């Protein structure tokens, strides 16, 4: 049997195959490491939700990330009065498969201890009149609100720059603070509990996105395997089958 000569072209193909296999395999491992990180974050969030409620003063005093991060997902109880004139309706938000608005209203804490923006709940939209605001009664007197601390409201895709007004796509807490002139806390509160004031609160658990990372890992490992199989077939198996035998 004649031995096949190893050429410079074979060398380039070998180097390219090894580099591609190593890179895609490492990328697959990196995606799995991201899964571990996100699962650890989820466990930390679940543990924080079981801790005792934080005092409102701690929520208002926290300004820097080093102060606010330990408070995220913690339970809190707020006593104060709504500021309904500053209510914002975030459009294109769904709950239980229905389209509508997220409703946010600032709450001035009792004793004028500060102002916290509260994600009060979800309200359905009027499909006959898309710019109509849903009826959301807002109590005028003192109220007690229970909820969990959030860093921000998840954003949705929007065309162009956000404008003011009652109905918006997204809300940036810093810009909203400047717009209203209110001494808002650096975080906001997602109200929990049964439906009230015409608002539903069937909040889904925070999504960590591990399914997406598993999908990316599968793709990278699949590509790695494909390159290895193609290299073996075209550079090893097929030349062997086609080579003359004594």
| Predicted local confidence at residue 160, as pLDDT | 59
Partners of 116 in the beta sheet?
107
Cβ neighbours of residue 120 closer than 8 Å, sequence gap 6 or more: 103, 104, 105, 136, 191, 197, 199
The whole-number mean pLDDT for each consecutive block of 10 residues of the chain, a chain of 246 residues, reads 72 92 96 93 86 92 91 94 95 91 96 93 85 88 95 78 80 92 95 92 84 95 96 85 67
Write the DSSP assignment of 63-80 as a string of letters.
-SHHHHGGGTT-EEEEEE
Q: Do the Cβ atoms of 100 and 122 come closer than 8 Å?
A: yes
Phi, psi (degrees; rounded to nearest 5) at 173:
-65, -40
Strands 184-191 and 115-124: parallel
pLDDT at 24: 96
Residue ranges per structural domain of the chain: 8-42+214-242, 74-191
Q: Is 151 in contact with 182 (CB distance < 8 Å)? A: no
Alpha helical stretches, state H, the chain: 8-49, 56-61, 65-68, 173-180, 210-232, 238-242
Tell me what pLDDT residue 216 has: 96
| pLDDT value, residue 4 | 64
- The rounded distance, in Å, linking the Cα atoms of 136 and 239 is 75
DSSP 193-217: SS-BTTBB--PPPPP--HHHHHHHH
How far does CA 25 lie from the centroid of its chain?
27
SS3 state at 177: helix
Q: How far apart are CA 54 and CA 56, in angstroms?
A: 6
pLDDT number for residue 157: 75
Whole-structure pTM value: 0.78
Give the model's pLDDT for residue 128.
76
């Amino acid at each position: 049997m004649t031995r096949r000569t190893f050429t410079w072209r074979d060398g380039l193909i070998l180097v390219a195959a090894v580099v591609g296999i190593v890179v895609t395999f490492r990328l697959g491992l990196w995606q799995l490491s991201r899964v571990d990180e996100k699962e650890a974050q989820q466990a930390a969030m679940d543990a924080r939700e079981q801790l005792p409620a934080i005092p409102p003063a701690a929520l208002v005093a926290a300004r820097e990330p080093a102060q606010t991060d330990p408070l995220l997902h913690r339970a809190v109880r707020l006593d104060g009065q709504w500021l309904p004139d500053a209510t914002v309706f975030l459009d294109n938000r769904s709950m239980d498969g229905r389209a509508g608005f997220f409703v946010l209203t600032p709450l001035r804490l009792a004793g004028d201890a500060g102002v916290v923006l509260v994600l009060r709940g979800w309200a359905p939209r009027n499909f006959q009149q898309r710019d109509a605001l849903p009826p959301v009664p807002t109590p005028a007197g003192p109220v007690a609100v229970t909820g969990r601390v959030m860093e921000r409201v998840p954003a949705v895709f929007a065309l162009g720059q956000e404008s003011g007004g009652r109905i918006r796509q997204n809300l940036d807490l810093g810009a909203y603070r400047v717009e209203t002139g209110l001494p808002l806390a650096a975080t906001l509160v997602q109200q929990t509990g049964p439906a009230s004031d015409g608002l539903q609160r069937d909040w889904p658990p925070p999504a960590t996105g591990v399914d997406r990372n598993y999908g990316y890992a599968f793709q990278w490992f699949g590509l790695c395997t494909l390159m290895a199989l193609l290299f073996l077939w075209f550079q090893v198996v097929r030349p062997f089958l086609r080579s003359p035998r004594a």
